[in-house]
Structure 1
Amino acid sequence: MRLSTVEIAAAVGGAHEGRSRPVDDYRFDVRELGTSPNELFVAGHHRFLRDDTNRHTPRAVSADRPYLCEVAPVGGTAIVVAEVEPAMLALGRYVRPRLTDRCIGITGSVGKTTVKQLTAAATSTTYRTHATPRSFNTKFSMPGVLASAPSDTECLVLEFGARYRGDLHLMGGVAKPSVAIITKLGWAHQGSMIGQAGIVATKGELVEDLPASGTAVISTDDPLAQGLPGRTTATVLTYGSVGDVRATGVRLSGDLSLSLSVATPWGEADLRPAVRGEHHVTNVLASLAGALAVGVPLDAAVAGIEQAEPPARRMQMHRIDRDILVIDDSFNATLESVLGALEALAAIDAPDRLAVMGPLVDGKAYVELIHTIARERAEQLGLEMLAYRAPNYGTPVVEHRRQLRERVDALPDGSAVLIKGSRNDVIDEVIAELIDHPGI
């Protein structure tokens, strides 16, 4: 929807400076400025405005670009607030009544963005859908997703992240989902949530706050999710091996593409989802259940999931010289996603299979343990692990791109290489060496 900066300032309790400007898009990273004609830059920290030596600041603010900030404005159109995060939540509350009641909220420890992508593809077959871009799933960015929704949106598909208890009560109270999908629960953010019990308590906030007329989409296979149905008055729609929405047959091809036969309360169907790897079966079922819960016909939901744009850097396949298959699964690296990726690599028929592992930074309170679990699982699967600038695996560490290249050079033709690790400069070096400059 289009708002004016004067209207936004009034909605968030901010002071308006400069002339009023139209806004229908929101930017949270200065490196993305200039991609939309009516964008508002939301400055999450004063350094974006005042420290010209910071690498993020070139072109950060100018007289022709409106911005929201906590500090004295530097010219142009500005909305000055006491704190950015509460201001953005206030903006979300302001725009939410103007939008459709049909809203799917997605949270969990792993699979959120994939499920969001597949669910949005399914609902788009039936409704004008507005979905969270990339992973804009925080208290800071989610309200901007709401405010950027076109006024004629018929279905919202929103991703919710959480680091602390109460986060989802707060965000859910703003977004008011009618359907809540809980993806796999596990290790992510255990430190800030105080263990797995804290994760379950926090993620369960989204189903607790559903209206009685809503639907909670919950896994039957996740041990941590078993108590969630008792925390909601909404209808519970389950997915999983014995769920209401379940796979009655799973076929995995040599390139990790999936074929599923599914049974649902709305009928049965066969589908070939756009994601790869058997560990994505649960994500496909969750997405299908969420789309069915808001009234998407089964055949339309299946078609949407089959035609979905696969999420970037999640099991993306690249063939480089000598027919070596490089699997880029480097978007993030929760322990659960690491184990799933290792199992997918083990399922590939190749003369040699190498897991190039960067450091895992999620779950800092358990950093040594999660690296050890990953190494032991690779050993159980018969995979070679190459730790790239990541000492916590307890294996010899490769520190230089040249050493990485030498190891890949030594692989037999037709081998498979997995790239996995928390998204950072280290893992980007691996991508640059093996995919961006693949010559061997």
Structure 2
Amino acid sequence: MTALWTSAELRAATGGALAAEVAVQRVGFDSRQVAPGDLFVALKAARDGHEFVPAAFTAGAACALVEHGEDPRCLIVPDTLAGLTALGAAARARSGARFVAVTGSVGKTTTKEMLRVALSAFGLTHAASASFNNHIGVPATLANTPRDAVFAVNELGMNNRGEIAPLARLARPHVAIISNIGTAHLGRLGSQAEIAAEKGDIIAGLEPGGTAILPADSPFLPELLARAPRALTFGEAPGADIRLLDYTAAPESGTARIATPQGQISLALSAPGRHLALNACAVLGAVVALGLEAGRAAQALAGFGAGAGRGLRRSIPLPRGGSILLMDESYNASEASVRASVSVLASQQGRKIAVLGDMLELGEQGPAMHRALAPAVAAAADLVYVCGPLMGGMFADLPPDRQGAAAPDSVSLAPLLRAALQPGDTVLVKGSLGMRMATIIQALDAPS
């Protein structure tokens, strides 16, 4: 097997000192996931990664990127995060792959996974297995780009102003997608205009001649277009280059008709939701921008399925017999994604239960934005269970016959929900990551 990184390449990329000759097959920073042949990066986070270097070598790590160490397999640099970033930059510089980067208020990871599926129809495609979208995850994803990759996908995220541009300049995409401009992190950035400006910074990293894929339905499209030397638009708006013409939902799937510069195509997805069809439009825009066949990509997307925490659907048996259908959206939440999720819930069969946690980082507009969800939630769900003070405000505006229970946190809510479940129920679980909605999922999976 050809090494992903040789000792000579590691030294050249990072400027570090490495006494041993090693062959690295993968780059990682989680000591719990070290496998033989890995380069373990000892980052300084909640705990100093240098504490775990001996265990990493015991687990089979070929090398460790460190700031100090005696083992000859240690690649010693002044700063491990800077070293990882340099390694990512070197990987990008040596690669002959075509790179696509995606950002947006919601749907980044789903769009990234759709890109992985669609582009794999044309050649070896590299993308991170998780949401590696920050100043650590992006260089790690780049550093793991296979030598023979034909396409590579990077997801770019942010929490504060000024974080997208350096990630984009590191990734240097040939195609940059902005999936949407929403209200996530509104409390930190202050306005949607600032969010749009931050998301638009992905354009600053485009390779010369690169193409931006922009949301035609966004009121900020003119500002984004002004920043993009070349662009394709997607969405439902008249004139969109990749336009969703119609969408038909089914309980477990969806079909769409989409206009592209290559002609109209039909798209079938094995997961429901109009928002997924729009994500697919963005992906098809990237496919077109890369000079590939949109129809072939659409065929590949028929095999796309949502992941855990991001719309995964599965049956869970109940202790007293029968089962429920879980719609697991527990990873995160924003106003747009909650509306999209409850819309999918409304199309399901049986009794429909929405389990919602607070949407965080919305600042002073948070209470009003939560209460504005009440009509859509009431129309979609037969019963509603909530945790957190913000969703508690929304809960108070629901009709009494829709009110299941409200609790301060997910731990308190879980037994109230579990006691109320009946065979045939469909249960949507959604909330911001900080609300720990995965606790609800764990409670549903736990034996009685």
Length-normalised TM-score, structure 2: 0.85
Aligned length: 427
Q: Describe the shift of the 1:426–1:200 C-alpha distance in structure 2 as closer, same or farther (beyond 3 A).
A: closer
Q: Is the 8 A contact 1:334 1:362 kept in 2?
A: no
8 Å contact from structure 1 (residues 23, 40) kept in 2: yes
Q: Which amino acid aligns with 2:333?
A: A
Q: Which residue of 1 is the match for residue 161 of structure 2?
A: 165
Counterpart in 1 of 2:118? 122
User: What's the CA shift string for 1:344-397, capped at 9, x where partnerless?
Assistant: 2123232x3221223444546765455444456424545532124x23322531
Deviations along 1:179-216, one digit per CA (max 9) or x if unpaired, are 11110111223344343222111111122443452211
Please give the alpha-carbon distance, in whole angstroms, between the structure 2 residues aligned to 1:193 and 1:399.
26
**Structure 1's 368 and 3: CA in aligned 2 closer, same or farther, altered over 3 A?**
same
Given the superposition, is the C-alpha separation of residues 229 and 427 from structure 1 closer, same or farther in structure 2, using an over 3 Å criterion? same
Q: For 2:325, what is the secondary structure of its paired residue?
A: strand
Residue 403 of structure 2: aligned partner: none
| 3-state SS of 1:204 partner | helix
Provide the C-alpha distance between the structure 2 equivalents of 1:58 and 1:338, rounded to a whole number of angstroms.
44
Identify the residue that residue 437 of structure 1 maps to in structure 2.
446
Q: Residue 247 of structure 1 aligns with which residue?
A: 244
Larger CA deviation: 408-417 vs 145-154: 408-417
Residues 3, 101 of structure 1: CA spacing in aligned structure 2 closer, same or farther, 3 A cutoff? Answer: closer
1: distance between equivalents of 2:412 and 2:213? 47
CA distance in structure 1 between the partners assigned to 2:21 and 2:435 by the alignment: 39
Q: Which moved more, 1:186-195 or 1:112-121?
A: 186-195
The residue type paired with residue 384 of structure 1 is L
Q: Which letter maps to 1:186?
A: G
2:377 matched residue in structure 1: 378
Kindly tell me: are residues 274 and 227 of structure 1, through their superposed partners in 2, closer, same or farther at Cα, counting changes over 3 Å? farther
Q: Which moved more, 1:370-379 or 1:277-286?
A: 370-379
Report Cα offsets for 1:220-240 as digits up to 9, x if no partner.
Answer: 112233421111112434343
User: Are the aligned partners of 1:239 and 1:289 in contact in 2 as well (CA < 8 Å)?
Assistant: no
CA distance in structure 2 between the aligned counterparts of 1:399 and 1:264, rounded to whole angstroms: 45
Structure 2 gaps, min length 5: 396-405
For residue 78 of structure 2, give the secondary structure of its aligned residue in structure 1. Answer: coil
Could you tell which deviates more after superposition, 165-174 or 290-299?
A: 165-174
Contact 1:277 1:315 survives alignment (8 Å)? no
Q: Which moved more, 1:74-83 or 1:337-346?
A: 74-83
Query: How far did residue 102 of structure 1 move?
Result: 1.7
Query: Residue 324 in 1 paired to residue 324 in 2?
Result: yes
DSSP-derived class of the 1:307 partner: coil
Equivalent residue, structure 2, for 1:68: 65
Code of the residue aligned with 2:143 in structure 1: it is A
CA distance in structure 2 between the aligned counterparts of 1:354 and 1:281, rounded to whole angstroms: 24
Q: Distance in 1 between matches of 2:421 and 2:381?
A: 16
Letter in 2 for 1:179: V
Match of 2:79 among 71, 79, 83: 83
SS at match of 2:330: coil
* Structure 2 Cα separation of the partners of residues 268 and 437 of structure 1: 47
Q: Aligned with 1:113: secondary structure?
A: helix
Structure number with greater CO (CA < 8 Å, separation at least 6) is 1
Alignment of 1:107-186 (within 5 A): 107-186=103-182
User: Once the 2 structures are TM-superposed, how far is the Cα of residue 298 of structure 1 from its aligned partner?
Assistant: 2.4
What does residue 333 of structure 2 align with? 333
Unaligned runs of 5+ in 1: none
1:276 to 1:67, Cα distance in 2 relative to 1, 3 A = farther
Q: Residue 273 of structure 1: CA displacement?
A: 1.6
Q: Any conservation in 2 of the 1:220–1:239 contact (CA below 8 Å)? A: yes
Are residues 1:298 and 2:294 paired?
Answer: yes
Answering whether residue 26 of structure 2 is matched by residue 25 of structure 1, we say yes
Cα distance change on mapping 1:372 and 1:324 into 2, 3 Å: same
Q: Cα–Cα, structure 1 residues 75 and 367, in superposed 2: closer, same or farther, change >3 Å? A: farther
Identity of aligned pairs, percent?
30
